[in-house]
Homo-oligomer: A and B are copies of this chain.
Amino acid sequence: MRNLLLTISFDGSNYHGWQVQENAITVQQTLQDAYERICGVRDNITGCSRTDSGVHANMYCCNIRTEKEIDCGKLTGALNAVLPDDIAVKSCAEVGYDFHARYDCKSKEYIYQIWNSENKHPFLYKYSLHHKYPLDEVFLSRCAKEFTGTHDFSAFCAAGSSVEDKVRTVSYAGLERDGDMVTFRVEADGFLYNMVRIMVGTLLGISCGKITESVGDIIESRDRERAGITAPPEGLFLNKIVY
C-alpha cells in the first residue's frame, strides 16, 4: 500500500468548497473523478482542510492511500490533462503510509485580498473583496497583531461549529498594501470555521468605526456578537501548508 501526497491549487469560484456533498460540485469530488478515470479505482482523497464555496487555494494538500503502482510524475501529468482548467496539480510525492494531510499539518497560512479603490476591477471581482472606503493598512496591521499568540478564538468562530477546543495559536497576522490591493495574511496552527473571514470582517468594522473595541478585548470576550461580519469568500486563499 502506497501513500501519495498531492499538492494542488484551484480557483474555487465554480466549486462548493473542497468536501464532497450531495447535489453540488466540489473540488474533492472533481479530483476523485479525475483520479478514478486515470487509475480505474475510486481511492479516497483526504484533504488538509475543508474550504467554503468560492474560496481559492494557491496551495492545498491532500493524500491518497492506494494499491495502484502509477508513477508520480505520470499521475501529475494525467490529472492535469483530465482536470478542468481551474484545478492544477503542482506535484505528487510518495510519503510514509501514516502521513495524513489533515492531522499532520503543523501550520496553515491564509491570505485575504481586499481591492481598496473607488473603482470596480472587472478582472478581480472573483478574487477579492471590493472595499471603496479608505483603509489604513498600517493602523489595521497594529490591530491585527493582537490576533497573534495562543487564544480561545470563540469570538471568531461561526455559530454551529462542532469543534470543542477553540484555542489556536496564531504566529503571524498583518496587512500589506500593493497599490490598491490590500492583503491580509495570517498563519496559525489551525483555524476555526470562518475564522479568517470573521477576522477580516472585524478589521473592516474597526476601520469604518462600527467596532470600537480592540481586537484583544473581542478575543477575550469569546463572544461572536462582538466581532465583525463574516467577510465574503471570494477574497480568501489558502496560501501555504506546512507539515
Chain A 68-97 residues near chain B, CB threshold 8 A:
80, 85-90
| A122 located at the interface, meaning its Cβ lies under 8 Å from any Cβ of chain B in the complex | yes
Number of copies: 2
- Is the pair B127, A88 in contact by a Cβ cutoff of 8 Å? no
A121 at the interface (CB under 8 A from B): yes
Query: A73 to nearest B CB, angstroms?
Result: 11
* Contact residues in B for A121 (Cβ distance below 8 Å): 88
- Chain B residues with Cβ below 8 Å from A11 are 122-123
**Closest partner residue, chain B, to A125 (CB atom):** B85
- Majority SS at the chain A contact face: loop
Set of chain B residues within 8 Å of A86, measured between Cβ atoms: 122, 125
Does residue A9 face the partner (Cβ distance < 8 Å to B)?
A: yes
Say which size band chain A's interface belongs to.
Answer: 10 to 19
Set B89, B122, B127: member contacting A10, Cβ < 8 A: B122
A120 beta carbon closer than 8 Å to chain B: yes
Q: Contact between A88 and B9 (Cβ–Cβ < 8 Å)? A: no
In the bound complex, CA of A192 to CA of B120 (Å)? 31
Chain B residues with CB under 8 Å of A89's CB are 120
A56 within 8 Å of B by Cβ?
yes
Q: Judge whether A162 is part of the interface by a CB distance below 8 angstroms.
A: no
A212 proximity list for chain B (CB < 8 A): none
Q: Whole-angstrom distance between the alpha carbons of A122 and B10 in the complex?
A: 6
Chain B contacts of A9 at CB under 8 A?
122-123
Candidate in A56, A119, A123 with the most chain B CB atoms within 10 angstroms: A123
